[in-house]
Chains A and B, each alone.
Chain A
């Protein structure tokens, strides 16, 4: 099944064309990595899939449902059943690790008992048991990365979007987390859409590589 489909999508910012008549199909359980230089439109593409912005022209389908078309968002981000790990991680500093992860579950009305179980399971998966009560600033870079992953994955999304999530980490940690992300994707079976400008990182993670330049895929 085509889990994401973009049909002739264009996006402008002021006078410049960030995405230029782009069409792309992403299969279920694929690990697709979008790679390209800064400013080529890869983050815009990710934000478009997430639902933070709409294509000026063209259409976007998620799980075969129309999600956005011609400047209009039809499905809001919270209705798309996807998770996202941001470049700056966007961990809420006023909430503990546990609360960060629980936020989405509460928003979706998951009961207390089930919530506890799912948080425990996901923390075990990302190896963060014992860190539940800590605030994000009390964690190392790698641990923060895992919290961001856990927060996205606890909702069991069909699609996980990752926007240069490892760019701020040192090489050793970057390599280790790459392997962990691949392992999690294989285990949980979500579709991964990963954005990076690092070609080595891209080829390590991808089952399919999409190169972008000046708003076009190659």
Chain B
């Protein structure tokens, strides 16, 4: 069982937006030793007070199934959906990337930003803040390219994801 391959899964969870619900989810992961690669949460249906949590996690197939079963068992949880398993989905992440420098590196960062379709949302004579949306891999690639050009700071939202097609969660 130990040699089973580790899989990466994106799980969407619809929960009551009530105090402590995020702590329950996080406590479940830490208490049972599961990984969290990223986690995002925000209210999505204000009228019904429902929040959507998107968790990217990894583990063997047995662990992934355990994670879903354990999440489903939490009382304030309405629905757990494994987007990785349940057909194609779209995953996006937003990052704000601050790069400082003058001269050629500064120009170069702007040029690469253009290729990656990152937007400049703040600029001074010696810095830019780029805003970029995309897959995690695309963000990783862009950030890596910024490193030698004066990368100062990165803020990322973590992955949000939704299934493709007409059906909802």
Do chains A and B interact in one complex?
Answer: no
Q: Which residues of B contact A (CB under 8 A)?
A: none
Residues in A lying within 8 Å of B, measured CB to CB = none
